[in-house]
Structure 1
Amino acid sequence: MQLITFSLLFSAIPLALAQYDYGSSGSTTTSAAASAQTSSAGPNHIVKVSNAAGDLTFSPNDFTAAVGDTVEFHFYGPKHSVAQSTFASPCNPANANAFFSGPITTSGTGVNPEIFTLNVTSTSAIWFYCAVPSHCEAGMAGVINAPTDGSKTLAMYQEAAKNASTVAPTKVQGLVQGSLSSSTSSSTSSASASASPTKNAGVEARGGVRWTALGLTGVVAAGFGGLII
């Protein structure tokens, strides 16, 4: 009688372990770590080049961005551009490799479907201006990651720009050209992907195998107990 009781208890142990999913925490931790490593893209900053009222402004015109972030320029009418400059030479190209969108003409008061995106690869200050004649002199300029010590500010740049003469870069370069529709579609797709369940199919499969194996172990144990009796 004692042998029968011992056999039944022994056969129940694997089923109890399976019920509490014993030993599965390691797989869950690994899966979570892998998911964290796949997320590396930074946020996207949208800058309005002018606006529906036709103001000679960038909005925002002074902000910070980290390496890996993107800056998306949205154009309003009638005609504007965005070009890279330096603090020392307002309204002039930074160098031969300065980014430049080229002049973008927009009719009406709405936003142009054409956009240009800057990939941020450094935390150094990035000064930019509108290269349409007289726009930069009127204050249409901006900066990304201005020095925090106040030695070089956007207000200083704009003040110096009043006495400058706008020079446009010689070629369109350094920015990724796209459209508002594709940008919206991409953002929607990314949001949908991040909202989907993250349950790991491999873990589920291993869980099913574990249940089967433990169940078979219990049957073998019960049979072994019967032979002893």
Structure 2
Amino acid sequence: MTLAILSTFLALGLPFFVWATEFQVTVGGPGILQFNPEYVNATTGDTVVFSFRQENHTVTQSSLDNPCQLADGGFDSGFVPVAVNNTDGPFPAAQYTVTDDNPVWIFCRQENHCQQGMVFAINPGDHYSTFKANAFGNNTANSTSTASATSSPTTTNSSPTSSDVQSSTAAPSSTSISATSTDAAVVNVTTTVTVSATAQPTSSVSATSSAEASTSTYAEHIVIVGVDGKLAYQPSNITAAVGDIVTFLFIQGNHTVTQSSFSYPCSSLAETSTSGQTGFDSDFMPVANGTSNYPTFTIDVNNTDPIWVYCKQTNPQDHCAAGMVFSVNAAASGLEGYPAFVNAAKQSNATTETSHSGSIRSAASSRNAGVALTLFAIITVLAL
């Protein structure tokens, strides 16, 4: 409706209507732990329709700082299972009505789904990448327990928790969520609850050392690379047990996870090792601004010796020399502790070889330059 037409309606006292937008969001799918799309920008009166697909998911409100926990007073669809062989529908759905322009943070509270990035947002602004990064690094259990497996299906009935929330007349196979300016809650939920096996975490790249892990149980440590545009790994020094894995999640920029040594913090271990160690190297992982697809790189912890890591990017500035380093099982202080490693990186004078995609430090080239200088000095003396 143009401004002129709108002014005419107002002048004549005639009613006019502003059409709301309906956003369709798919929840899950065969082997998919994701909301699609992962966020929308909506205005007051718009609706978001969540269409549940295969497996067993929820639409649960959380917060930016605690993405994997049910927010106080937040809404929750409850578990909505969809059979794996149901590929053509009909599919159960939940509807949310947008009441203002404030961000709304949402996650799936099925066990480990949020921690694998199954989150969604309405009006996230420029904070969605932070929200998803917080989810990947979240090890806190949800305040609402997840459904547990049973030998036979159970039926869960949830009734409205507030008189301000309008009830839905949806069929038993669907879930309806509505909201007013004063409240938001689960309403009229009637569904059969079962739990399917949850998917295991996957990584886009992996790297291991030659030794096998000595335990069958492990913990996964999430390390964020480049969060908020910072030249940093977060956290920057962790303690891990044998058998644990460390997953690096690349959030922004173009960084690497490259193994080095304490003596040569800004040179790859493959270039400086005197015993033939090759080390690991993720190579460059470019992540465009505004994307929600974050590459990962995983390493296995096979012993308790310190593991030293740096970013080999030097364009437009040297990331390692700026202090972008990381360690596993390094001491918190001392001559060979993590702070000393950071200082050594910042004071590194190693030369670089620049490639089209980035730069790699070469300690060998520094040594060769030193040998050449020494030979030149010897030849000069002999000539005299």
> TM range, normalised to the smaller chain?
0.5 to 0.7
Name the CA distance, whole Å, in 1 between partners of 2:46 and 2:159: 21
86, 108, 111: which one aligns with 1:133: 111
Name the CA distance, whole Å, in 2 between partners of 1:175 and 1:133: 30
Are the structure 2 counterparts of residues 56 and 136 from structure 1 closer, same or farther at C-alpha, using a change threshold of 3 Å?
same
Asked whether 1:88 is paired with 2:88, we answer: no
Deviation at 1:62, TM superposition (A): 1.8
Are the structure 2 counterparts of residues 78 and 151 from structure 1 closer, same or farther at C-alpha, using a change threshold of 3 Å?
closer
Are the structure 2 counterparts of residues 30 and 77 from structure 1 closer, same or farther at C-alpha, using a change threshold of 3 Å?
closer
Letter in 1 for 2:78: G
47, 53, 67: which one aligns with 2:44: 67
The structure with the largest alpha-carbon Rg is 1
Name the CA distance, whole Å, in 2 between partners of 1:41 and 1:151: 27
Are the structure 2 counterparts of residues 151 and 73 from structure 1 closer, same or farther at C-alpha, using a change threshold of 3 Å?
closer
Name the CA distance, whole Å, in 1 between partners of 2:120 and 2:86: 22
Deviation at 1:100, TM superposition (A): 0.7
Letter in 1 for 2:52: F
Corresponding residue number in structure 1 for 2:143? 167
Deviation per residue, 1:39-87 (Å, 9 max, x gap): 2341001110012x23000001122111110000000121111100001
Are the structure 2 counterparts of residues 123 and 31 from structure 1 closer, same or farther at C-alpha, using a change threshold of 3 Å?
closer
CA-based RMSD: 3.2
Structure with the bigger percentage of strand: 2
**3-state SS in 1 of match to 2:101:** coil
Asked whether 1:102 is paired with 2:78, we answer: yes
TM-score under structure 1 normalisation?
0.55
Maintained 8 Å contact 2:26/2:51: yes
**3-state SS in 1 of match to 2:61:** strand
Are the structure 2 counterparts of residues 78 and 146 from structure 1 closer, same or farther at C-alpha, using a change threshold of 3 Å?
same
Maintained 8 Å contact 2:82/2:91: no
Maintained 8 Å contact 1:85/1:92: yes
Corresponding residue number in structure 1 for 2:24? 46
Letter in 1 for 2:103: A
Asked whether 1:57 is paired with 2:34, we answer: yes
Structure 2 stretches of 5 or more lacking a match?
Answer: 1-7, 147-157, 175-384
109, 112, 119: which one aligns with 2:97: 119
Structure with the bigger percentage of helix: 1
Corresponding residue number in structure 1 for 2:290? none
**3-state SS in 2 of match to 1:113:** coil
Deviation at 1:131, TM superposition (A): 1.1
> What is the aligned length?
147
Are the structure 2 counterparts of residues 30 and 86 from structure 1 closer, same or farther at C-alpha, using a change threshold of 3 Å?
closer
Letter in 2 for 1:159: F
**3-state SS in 2 of match to 1:156:** helix
Are the structure 2 counterparts of residues 41 and 138 from structure 1 closer, same or farther at C-alpha, using a change threshold of 3 Å?
same
Q: Summarize the alignment of residues 169-184 of structure 1 with structure 2, pairs less than 5 Å apart.
A: 177=168, 178=170
Maintained 8 Å contact 1:146/1:152: no
Corresponding residue number in structure 2 for 1:144? 122
Deviation per residue, 1:99-153 (Å, 9 max, x gap): 11110011124345321100100111110000111111111111111133x4973
Structure 1 stretches of 5 or more lacking a match?
Answer: 1-28, 183-229
Maintained 8 Å contact 2:27/2:52: yes
Name the CA distance, whole Å, in 1 between partners of 2:166 and 2:58: 12
Letter in 2 for 1:101: S
